[in-house]
């Protein structure tokens, strides 16, 4: 179960951040923002060697005391970040991966909406639904 | 980690220096006290040796000792064991040290560019270095290492003592007692036989120098020349001070110490109270309270801040009795002591230990390792062992430490390494960690670097210190060393991890400093991690604030802010801003606080309403406080947002809409939405007016008057405002917050720009409005004086929240529309000027108000109503040139003076308040028509612009005049928007404003009344048959009138009162209605047909086109159709229909004008009786029908057809004239006896003379061919016709002059009695000048029967 799901634009500003309402939202903002450094580091490390065949899923970005932060970068450099509770050991890498894929698909749908202005905050019920599903789902 | 002043090597070396103890006699203490210093302090600035020393290692190799520093300290005895953590006093000292070390103002910060971030921060962190230095110095001595154990002891005795040698003895015994009695665990001593160095202190100012020398000689004898020293000092007498400035090397060493001990007790304890919460939590709930308490704390802080200054003044007198020579003496003394005393001593001891260790190692090999039970002092560390001081492992360690201190790192490393192995095998973890740490450090410091830096040694050491031994102080030291070393090797990431790991809850200050260093590590990486830097800065800031280091906290937050700023991480940004605001406020920087809080409110917030209100409250509080501190300038308020471009400016008074019965002209009001179409329409109307006023030419510089400026109007020019007329500025506010804002006392600030000294002046009302996340528009008016000036852009807003009221301003800066003309405009974002608020004030102008009386809102189609219009000049300037133009010029009329009848009006018309002028007529004259000739000029106006006929054509100030106004309901039903534009100008010339206009818009609801259809047809009656009429042929006019009014309720019936005509060539002759009912009544859905005869007018002599008006009244009152309301509307109707018809085919117009000469029949004055509220109302009206061609039906409801004609205009003009028209060219009639009796018995042939009369109806010559021969198409008709025959000439070819009547005598021959149709002659006619092809048969349709009787 994810506790926070974020979509970050290419220019590193948030397009979408949702976190579990019971917890301190600000903390997740900081966590997600800080994780961007790692994302950039990973992209720059991988980008050179593999070129186009880059794996979108970046894996565990960094663990904190309470959370694990996972990252995923689309080809257009839009970043997805999922924060998972550390205590939750049931989630495997594969599950995280599929969560990201689902998120990416939904994000693509949002972008395909002709009324969506790329670069705006994501305001889509469908996307909200997917995200809420991921935040409840396995919990 | 930030950059340091020292290099790594220097730093590590200085962290571990030989320690020297000092024991002073009281007298010696007194001598040094003269300089406000004790002896250890006196030596401290000179403890670094500038020259190189030499010593030999156990292998007799010469070792160079460079840049050695020793640490001299007074012996402080204490019986306690060394604590594993810093004492409270020590941590307080560290806190003070950090607090006193702040970044200097104006120091150039370096800019780091990482990605798209430009960060500006200081690369050095002197507070951290100071902290580290102090921390390392305050390290407690422990048993497992010897580095900070005293190696030597200075015994200091003054030469003024009675027997100095005895004193030396006493001190020596004292030292021995301290070291060996076992009473004290502190201080610790390196080696059992500590080096004692005897120093004789001689005060030059008071003592006997020779005696001192003598004592020194004695000492040399006793202790050897290398074990004693005579230090002469205090050359300057106390009184001589002041005239010579001696550098004070002590201040930098001592000031802090003094600070530690004395200042800051109360302040720091109060400060650290309020901000203890999670670093990432907005501590809102306690916010307001905390601010208030902090206000109280501030005063305390201020007190504290003053103290160190006074102390610094006292500290300035260090070394007052010392000359520069004395400084040199001290330096020489230290050098002498180190090189002659200390280094040989160390060298000797290393040798001894080396030998000892060698033998001991052999012994260890033989003996089983000794285990001692764990000491009761270390109850928690079960695994650690405790060694007796003489244990061989400790000897190795001791030797290693000695080697390390004299910079023999290679030997030190091997020793540490050996010791480490031993300790590890003994599970003596603390000892092992110490050895590991030092092994790593000495490996790092080895010059040639034969082995790589063993970082894992350090990691193990740190882990052991922290987790196993729970000794945070040692762990911290280890971390500091390791981090610095890693930094020097560029391993920033490792260093950062190390530093972050070391943060813990037990010490906020340490955590803060280490986090800050970690942040610096992140930014110094090869790929700078900006966000991590920022995040750790925030964490550091939080810990700083918890540790009471507000200034540092603020600095950290500010640095982090650079990363989060304006990147739409609003939640984080708000948090940082809030913290910055709070910290700035408590640090008495209200400006900064206001800016920070303002930022929170300016941004689009994602915060909840409660949090926003908390932010707002905090902001207002801070803002208010700032205002109290600096009341002069009025600061900008961030709230509410002003939607500048939506600002509207309205010139003039707020219009009264109605005043009693009077209805004011609508003009322009702020309630109206701007509409481009209507603006164009008004502009077009104004253009017409201006053209009319300027003899038909629109001036080049014509600009339409704009009464209300908004974002869509053209605001390029400075608007003109008239002096002493108000200007209303409508400002749109938006409240972006989720909480409501209360505003009060709003006012506009404005500024003259007329003179050099523009006095800012303020004027306006106070209004109160509450906004809640919505747009609020509110008008503020300013009365203008004179001169040219700009309405400047300040608004005073009092925001009220709870009881807090703050006062501020907001600028009104209007940006013009984006330019998009040139290529540069398109490629960049450029904005034009918007001069909406920059007025030019002009001299007084007249101001007119217009009121309408009895102005209807609903009319029947064609209804005539009389209303009054009142023009008031409300200004102090006379006005003239009153004109009006309308979108519906046929809707109204001001009447015309020329046609005012002289005859008195009938009493009934006055009774009914009739719009018409009527004359009573005798009833019998109903059938006869009244005629009147009127020239068109009396009525028509050159264009749509109508001059308003007021007396004297000027309106004096304050004067008002009332004029009647006739209105006629539009011909089409529905709601009509009718716009009037009134024009007037000042009587004076040379104004900036040439004219003024006033708009009026009315909505008239027109409902259907009657439909009138008229048609004209040629009368069959030949002209000479008509009674006494000599003119041209008669025409019959048929008028169909139908009541098409739909409303059953009110309208009862229509009466057709009169039918009038107006034409240049025709006139109504008489009514030939078969039913002789006079007043034609029509109730709902009824229809009536009226029949009239019209005749041609007498030809007019003068060239002026005059219209003949003829009235045929059906009732008993005659309406003078040629007089004002009727005639006016007739000509209006003409004009509009003509203007509409301009596009009609020209050939047709010319032709018809030739033949029929434009006939206008207009008719039907009607009266409608309406029952309303049980009261009978009589409405009057008139309907117009334009008849143009014979036989064609015209209707009063035809404007649609006119539109259709426009499209036909594209067709080519017809070549062949329509036959129907030609057939009417020539009229034929047969004259014969109706019955003819003929005796067929006598004469079988009966010849009857028949006269054929041909009359040319047209004004053209006509060729006529008459063919009498029967020309049947079928045998039957032939048979019928063969019964009689025309005899004589059967074919004629004639030419008829215009309107000529010609009689032809024909003869018909009948063979037998019977009834015959004589109408067989075929007449062909054509206009003479037209081609032969146009001949058309003139068939008379009706049979002409003749009865032939047989006699």
B332-368 per-position pLDDT tens digit = 888 888 888 888 888 888 888 888 777 766 655 554 4
CA B36/CA B253 separation, integer angstroms: 13
Mean pLDDT of B826-851: 79
Map tokens 């950062």 to a residue: B496
Confidence at residue B466, expressed as pLDDT on a 0 to 100 scale = 85
Of B58-67, B767-776, B920-929, the poorest mean pLDDT is in B767-776
CA B908/CA B902 separation, integer angstroms: 17
Confidence at residue A106, expressed as pLDDT on a 0 to 100 scale = 92
- Which residues in chain B touch residue A34, judged by CB atoms under 8 angstroms apart? 531-532, 534-535
pLDDT at B277 over 50: no
- Which residues in chain B touch residue A36, judged by CB atoms under 8 angstroms apart? 531
Structure tokens at B1068: 């109504």
| DSSP β-bridge partners for residue B1167 | B1055, B1180
Mean pLDDT of B176-188: 78
DSSP secondary structure string for all residues of B199-247: EEEEETTTS-HHHHHHHHHHHHHHH-GGGEEEEEE--S-GGGTTSS---
The 10 Å Cβ neighbour count of residue B1087 is 13
Mean pLDDT of B461-470: 86
Backbone angles phi, psi at A130, to 5 degrees: -60, -45
A2-134: CATH topology? Beta-Lactamase (3.30.450)
| DSSP β-bridge partners for residue B777 | B732
Q: For residue range B304-319, what is the model confidence (pLDDT) as tens digits? A: 444 443 333 444 567 7
Interface mutation target, options B531, B533, B536, B540, chain A, most CBs of A under 10 Å: B531
pTM comes to 0.66
CA B889/CA B883 separation, integer angstroms: 13
The 10 Å Cβ neighbour count of residue B208 is 12
Longest pairwise C-alpha distance within chain A:
42
Q: Exposed e or buried b for every residue in B274-296, given b needs 16+ CB within 10 A?
A: bbeeebbebebeebeebbeebee
Q: What ipTM was predicted for this assembly?
A: 0.88
pLDDT at A112 over 70: yes
Of B26-30, B107-111, B685-689, the poorest mean pLDDT is in B107-111
CA-nearest residue of chain A to B519?
A: A34
Task: For CA atoms B316, B319, B324, B330, give the dihedral sign.
Answer: negative
Q: Exposed e or buried b for every residue in B989-1012, given b needs 16+ CB within 10 A?
A: eebebbbbbbbbbbebebbbbbbb
DSSP symbol at B1190:
T
The reply to whether A29 touches chain B by the CB within 8 Å rule is yes
Break chain A into its structural domains and give their ranges: 2-134
Mean pLDDT of B115-124: 77
pLDDT band at B379 (very low <50, low <70, confident <90, very high): very low
Instruction: Count the helices and strands in chain B (H runs, E runs).
Output: 32, 57
Query: From the CA of A25, how many Å to the nearest CA of chain B?
Result: 8
pLDDT band at B753 (very low <50, low <70, confident <90, very high): low
Longest pairwise C-alpha distance within chain B:
210
* Residue pairs between chains A and B whose CB atoms are closer than 8 Å: 48
Out of A11, A13, A26, closest to residue B575 by CB: A26
Confidence at residue A108, expressed as pLDDT on a 0 to 100 scale = 92
Answer for the pair B1310, B1283: CB distance below 8 angstroms, yes or no: yes
- H/E stretch holding B1254 reads strand B1246-1256
pLDDT band at B919 (very low <50, low <70, confident <90, very high): low
CA B677/CA B674 separation, integer angstroms: 9
Out of A29, A35, A36, closest to residue B571 by CB: A29
Contact A26/B571, CB-based, under 8 Å?
yes
More confident residue, B517 or B855: B517
DSSP secondary structure string for all residues of B1106-1166: EEEEEEEESSSEEE-TTSHHHHHHHHHHHHHHHHHHTTS-HHHHHHHHHHT------EEEE
pLDDT band at B140 (very low <50, low <70, confident <90, very high): confident
Interface mutation target, options B492, B533, B568, chain A, most CBs of A under 10 Å: B568
CA B1287/CA B1111 separation, integer angstroms: 51
Backbone angles phi, psi at B993, to 5 degrees: -100, 120
Mean pLDDT of B999-1004: 85
Beta strand pairing status for B848-853 and B863-873?
A: antiparallel
Mean pLDDT of B766-788: 48
Residue (of B158, B137, B201) closest to B330 by Cα position: B201
Task: For CA atoms B1056, B1058, B1059, B1061, give the dihedral sign.
Answer: negative
Confidence at residue B1098, expressed as pLDDT on a 0 to 100 scale = 64
pLDDT at B217 over 60: yes
CA B1032/CA B801 separation, integer angstroms: 93
DSSP symbol at B469:
S
Residue (of B316, B339, B319) closest to B233 by Cα position: B319
The reply to whether A24 touches chain B by the CB within 8 Å rule is yes
pLDDT band at B634 (very low <50, low <70, confident <90, very high): low
pLDDT band at A95 (very low <50, low <70, confident <90, very high): confident
Interface mutation target, options A7, A17, A31, A37, chain B, most CBs of B under 10 Å: A37
More confident residue, B390 or B481: B481
Answer for the pair B722, B841: CB distance below 8 angstroms, yes or no: yes
pLDDT at B1030 over 50: no
Backbone angles phi, psi at B877, to 5 degrees: -125, 140
Residue (of B838, B805, B813) closest to B641 by Cα position: B813
Q: For residue range B765-774, what is the model confidence (pLDDT) as tens digits? A: 444 444 444 4
pLDDT at B894 over 50: yes
Q: For residue range A36-66, what is the model confidence (pLDDT) as tens digits? A: 888 888 887 765 555 556 678 888 888 777 8
pLDDT at B473 over 70: yes
Query: From the CA of A27, how many Å to the nearest CA of chain B?
Result: 6
Confidence at residue B260, expressed as pLDDT on a 0 to 100 scale = 43
Per cent of chain B over pLDDT 70 is 67
Contacts of B309 (CB under 8 A, 6+ apart): none
Q: What is the dihedral of CA B1205, B1206, B1208, B1209, to 10 degrees?
A: 120
Answer for the pair B554, B577: CB distance below 8 angstroms, yes or no: no
pLDDT at B1095 over 50: yes
DSSP secondary structure string for all residues of B660-686: TTEEE-----TTSPP-HHHHHHHHHHH
pLDDT band at B212 (very low <50, low <70, confident <90, very high): confident
Answer for the pair B481, B8: CB distance below 8 angstroms, yes or no: no
Answer for the pair B200, B157: CB distance below 8 angstroms, yes or no: yes
Contacts of B604 (CB under 8 A, 6+ apart): B570, B736
Out of A26, A27, A37, closest to residue B529 by CB: A37
Bond before B82 cis per omega within 30 degrees: no
More confident residue, B59 or B1132: B59
Confidence at residue B1210, expressed as pLDDT on a 0 to 100 scale = 33
More confident residue, B6 or A74: A74
pLDDT at B506 over 50: yes
Confidence at residue B1217, expressed as pLDDT on a 0 to 100 scale = 40
Out of A14, A24, A41, closest to residue B569 by CB: A14
- H/E stretch holding B394 reads helix B392-405
Q: For residue range B1112-1168, what is the model confidence (pLDDT) as tens digits? A: 766 666 666 666 666 667 666 655 554 433 333 322 222 222 333 344 444 455 555
Confidence at residue A105, expressed as pLDDT on a 0 to 100 scale = 92
Helix (H), strand (E), coil (C) string for B985-1050:
EECCCCCCCCCEEEEEEEEEEEECCEEEEEEEEECCCCHHHCCCCCCCCCEEEEEEEEECCCCCCC
Bond before B640 cis per omega within 30 degrees: yes
Interface mutation target, options B501, B524, B530, B571, chain A, most CBs of A under 10 Å: B571
CA B164/CA B154 separation, integer angstroms: 15
Q: For residue range A73-93, what is the model confidence (pLDDT) as tens digits? A: 988 888 999 988 888 777 788
What angle do the packed helices B472-488 and B492-502 form, to 10 degrees?
A: 170
Structure tokens at B1284: 């009689």
Task: For CA atoms B181, B182, B184, B189, give the dihedral sign.
Answer: positive
Contact B568/A27, CB-based, under 8 Å?
no
Answer for the pair B806, B798: CB distance below 8 angstroms, yes or no: yes
Contacts of B183 (CB under 8 A, 6+ apart): B77, B79, B177
CA-nearest residue of chain A to B526?
A: A41
Going through chain A in order, the beta strands assigned E by DSSP cover 2-8, 14-19, 57-63, 67-73, 79-85
Please, what is the average pLDDT of chain B? Answer: 71
Query: From the CA of B567, how many Å to the nearest CA of chain A?
Result: 6
CA A76/CA B1175 separation, integer angstroms: 82
Query: From the CA of B532, how many Å to the nearest CA of chain A?
Result: 5
Answer for the pair B1039, B1017: CB distance below 8 angstroms, yes or no: no
pLDDT at B897 over 70: no
Mean pLDDT of B1264-1274: 66
């Amino acid at each position: 179960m994810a506790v926070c799901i974020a979509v970050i634009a290419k220019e590193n500003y948030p397009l979408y951040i949702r976190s579990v309402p019971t917890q301190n939202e600000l903390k997740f903002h900081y966590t997600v923002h800080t994780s961007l450094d790692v994302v950039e580091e990973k992209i720059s490390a991988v980008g050179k060697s593999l070129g186009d065949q880059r794996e979108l899923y970046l894996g565990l970005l960094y663990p904190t005391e309470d959370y694990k932060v996972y990252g995923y970068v689309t080809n257009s450099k839009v970043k997805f970040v999922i924060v998972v509770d550390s205590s939750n050991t049931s989630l495997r890498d594969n599950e995280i991966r599929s969560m990201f894929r689902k998120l990416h698909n939904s994000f693509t749908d949002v972008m395909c909406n002709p009324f969506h202005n790329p670069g705006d905050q994501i305001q889509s019920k469908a996307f909200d639904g997917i995200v809420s599903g991921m935040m409840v789902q396995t919990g | 980690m930030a950059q340091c002043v020292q290099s790594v090597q220097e730093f590590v070396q200085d962290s571990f220096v030989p320690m020297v103890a000092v024991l002073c006699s009281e007298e010696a203490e007194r001598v040094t006290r003269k300089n406000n210093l004790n002896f250890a302090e006196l030596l401290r600035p000179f403890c670094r040796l500038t020259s190189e020393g030499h010593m030999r290692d156990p292998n007799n190799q010469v070792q160079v000792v460079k840049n050695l520093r020793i640490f001299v300290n007074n012996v402080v005895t204490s019986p306690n064991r060394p604590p594993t953590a810093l004492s409270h006093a020590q941590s307080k000292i560290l806190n003070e040290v950090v607090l006193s070390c702040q970044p200097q103002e104006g120091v150039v910060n370096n800019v780091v560019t990482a990605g798209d971030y430009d960060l500006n921060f200081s690369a050095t962190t002197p507070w951290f270095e100071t902290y580290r230095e102090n921390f390392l110095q305050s390290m407690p001595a422990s048993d497992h290492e010897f580095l900070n154990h005293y190696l030597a002891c200075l015994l200091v005795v003054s030469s003024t003592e009675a027997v100095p040698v005895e004193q030396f003895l006493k001190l020596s015994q004292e030292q021995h007692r301290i070291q060996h009695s076992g009473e004290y665990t502190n201080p610790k001593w390196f080696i059992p036989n500590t080096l004692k160095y005897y120093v004789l202190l001689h005060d030059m100012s008071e003592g006997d120098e020779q005696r001192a020398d003598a004592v020194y000689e004695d000492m040399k004898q006793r202790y050897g020349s290398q074990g004693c020293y005579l230090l002469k000092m205090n050359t300057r007498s106390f009184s001589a001070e002041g005239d010579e400035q001696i550098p004070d090397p002590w201040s930098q060493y001592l000031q802090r110490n003094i600070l530690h001990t004395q200042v800051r007790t109360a302040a720091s304890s109060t400060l650290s109270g309020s901000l203890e919460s999670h670093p990432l939590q907005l501590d809102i709930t306690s916010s307001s309270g905390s601010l208030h308490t902090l206000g109280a704390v501030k005063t305390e802080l201020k007190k504290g801040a003053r103290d160190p200054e006074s102390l610094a003044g006292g500290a300035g007198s260090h070394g007052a009795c010392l000359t520069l020579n004395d400084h040199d003496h001290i330096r020489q003394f230290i050098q002498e002591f180190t090189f002659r005393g200390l280094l040989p001593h160390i060298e000797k001891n290393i040798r001894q230990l080396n030998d000892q260790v060698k033998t001991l190692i052999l012994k260890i090999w033989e003996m089983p390792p000794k285990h001692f039970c764990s000491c009761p002092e270390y109850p928690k560390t079960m695994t650690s062992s405790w060694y007796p001081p003489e244990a061989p492992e400790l000897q190795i360690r001791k030797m290693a430490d000695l080697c390390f201190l004299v910079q023999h790192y290679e030997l030190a490393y091997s020793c540490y390494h050996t010791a480490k192995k031993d300790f590890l095998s003994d599970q003596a973890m603390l000892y092992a960690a110490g050895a590991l740490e030092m092994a790593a450090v000495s490996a790092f410091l080895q010059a040639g670097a034969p082995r790589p830096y063993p970082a894992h040694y350090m990691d193990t050491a740190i882990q052991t210190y922290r987790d196993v031994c729970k000794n945070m102080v040692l762990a911290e030291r280890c971390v500091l060393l390791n981090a610095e070393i890693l930094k020097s090797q560029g391993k920033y990431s490792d260093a950062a991890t190390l530093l972050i790991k070391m943060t813990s809850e037990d010490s906020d200050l340490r955590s803060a400093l280490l986090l800050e260093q970690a942040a610096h590590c992140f930014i110094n990486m090869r790929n700078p991690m900006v966000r991590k830097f920022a995040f750790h800065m925030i964490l550091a800031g939080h810990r700083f604030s918890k540790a009471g280091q507000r200034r540092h906290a603020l600095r950290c937050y500010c640095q982090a802010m650079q990363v989060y700023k304006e990147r739409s991480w609003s939640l984080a940004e708000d948090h940082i801003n809030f913290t910055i605001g709070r910290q700035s406020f408590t640090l008495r920087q209200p400006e900064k606080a206001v800016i920070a809080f303002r930022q929170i409110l300016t941004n689009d917030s994602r915060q909840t309403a409660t949090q926003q209100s908390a932010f707002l409250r905090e902001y207002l509080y801070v803002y208010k406080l700032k205002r109290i501190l600096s009341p002069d300038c009025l600061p900008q308020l961030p709230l509410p947002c002003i939607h500048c471009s939506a600002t509207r400016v309205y010139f003039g008074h707020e219009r009264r809409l109605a005043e009693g019965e009077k209805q004011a002209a609508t003009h322009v009001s702020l309630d109206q939405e701007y509409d481009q179409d209507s603006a164009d329409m008004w502009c077009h109307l104004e253009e017409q007016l201006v053209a009319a006023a300027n003899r038909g030419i629109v001036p080049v510089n014509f600009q339409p008057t704009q009464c209300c400026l908004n974002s869509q109007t053209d605001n390029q020019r400075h608007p003109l405002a008239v002096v002493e007329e108000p200007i209303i500025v409508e400002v749109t506010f938006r409240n972006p917050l989720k909480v409501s804002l209360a505003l009060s006392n709003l006012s506009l600030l404005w500024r003259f720009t007329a003179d050099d000294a523009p006095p800012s002046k303020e004027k306006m009302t106070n209004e109160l409005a509450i906004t809640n996340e919505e747009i609020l528009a509110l008008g503020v008016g300013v009365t203008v004086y004179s001169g040219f000036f700009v309405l400047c852009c300040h608004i005073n807003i009092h925001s009220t929240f709870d009881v807090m009221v703050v006062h501020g301003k907001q600028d009104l800066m209007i940006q013009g529309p984006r330019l998009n003309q040139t290529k540069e405009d398109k490629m960049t974002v450029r904005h034009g000027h918007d001069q909406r608020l920059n007025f030019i004030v002009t001299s007084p102008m007249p101001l007119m108000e217009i009121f309408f009386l009895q102005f209807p809102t609903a009319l029947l189609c064609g209804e005539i109503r009389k209303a009054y219009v009142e023009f008031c000049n409300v200004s102090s300037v006379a006005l003239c040139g009153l004109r009006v133009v309308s979108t519906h010029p046929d809707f109204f009329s001001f009447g015309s003076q020329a046609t005012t009848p002289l005859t008195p009006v009938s009493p009934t018309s006055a009774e009914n308040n009739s719009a018409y002028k009527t004359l009573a007529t005798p009833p019998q004259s109903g059938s006869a028509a009244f005629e009147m000739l009127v020239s068109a000029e009396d009525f028509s106006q050159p264009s749509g612009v109508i001059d308003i006929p007021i007396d004297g054509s000027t309106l004096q100030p304050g004067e008002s005049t009332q004029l009647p106004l006739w209105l006629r309901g539009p011909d089409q039903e529905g709601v009509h928007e009718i716009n009037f534009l009134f024009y007037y100008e000042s009587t004076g010339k040379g104004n900036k404003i040439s004219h003024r206009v006033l708009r009026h818009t009315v909505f008239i609801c027109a409902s259907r009344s009657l439909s009138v259809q008229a048609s004209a047809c040629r009368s069959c009656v030949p002209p000479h048959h008509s009674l006494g009429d000599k003119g041209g042929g008669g025409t019959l006019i048929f008028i169909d009138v139908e009541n098409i009014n739909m409303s059953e309720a009110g309208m009862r019936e229509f009466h057709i009162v009169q039918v009038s005509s107006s034409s240049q060539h025709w006139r109504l002759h008489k009514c030939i209605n078969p039913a002789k009912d006079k007043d034609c009544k029509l109730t709902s859905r009824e229809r009536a047909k009226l029949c009239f005869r019209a005749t041609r007018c007498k030809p007019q002599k003068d060239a002026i086109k005059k219209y003949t008006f003829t009235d045929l009244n059906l009732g008993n009152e005659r309406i003078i159709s040629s007089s004002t309301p009727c005639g006016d509307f007739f000509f209006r109707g003409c004009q509009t229909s003509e203007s509409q018809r301009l596009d009609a085919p020209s050939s047709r117009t010319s032709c018809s004008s030739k033949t029929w000469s434009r006939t206008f029949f207009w008719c039907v004055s009607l009266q409608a009786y309406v029952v309303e509220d049980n009261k009978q109302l009589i409405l009057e009206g008139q309907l117009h029908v334009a008849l143009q061609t014979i036989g064609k039906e015209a209707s009063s409801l035809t404007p649609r057809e006119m539109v259709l004609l426009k499209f036909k205009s594209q067709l080519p003009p017809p070549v062949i004239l329509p036959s129907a028209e030609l057939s009417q060219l020539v009229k034929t009639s047969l004259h014969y006896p109706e019955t003819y009796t003929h005796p067929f018995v006598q004469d079988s042939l009966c010849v009857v003379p028949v006269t054929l009369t041909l009359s040319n109806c047209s004004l053209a010559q006509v060729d006529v061919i008459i063919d009498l021969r029967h020309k049947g198409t079928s045998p039957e008709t032939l048979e019928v016709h063969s019964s009689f025959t025309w005899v004589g000439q059967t074919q004629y070819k004639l030419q008829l002059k215009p309107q000529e009547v010609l009689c032809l005598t024909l003869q018909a021959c009948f063979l037998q009695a019977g009834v015959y149709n004589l109408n067989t002659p075929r007449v062909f006619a054509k206009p003479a000048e037209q081609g032969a092809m146009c001949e058309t048969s003139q068939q008379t349709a009706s049979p002409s029967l003749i009865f032939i009787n047989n006699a």
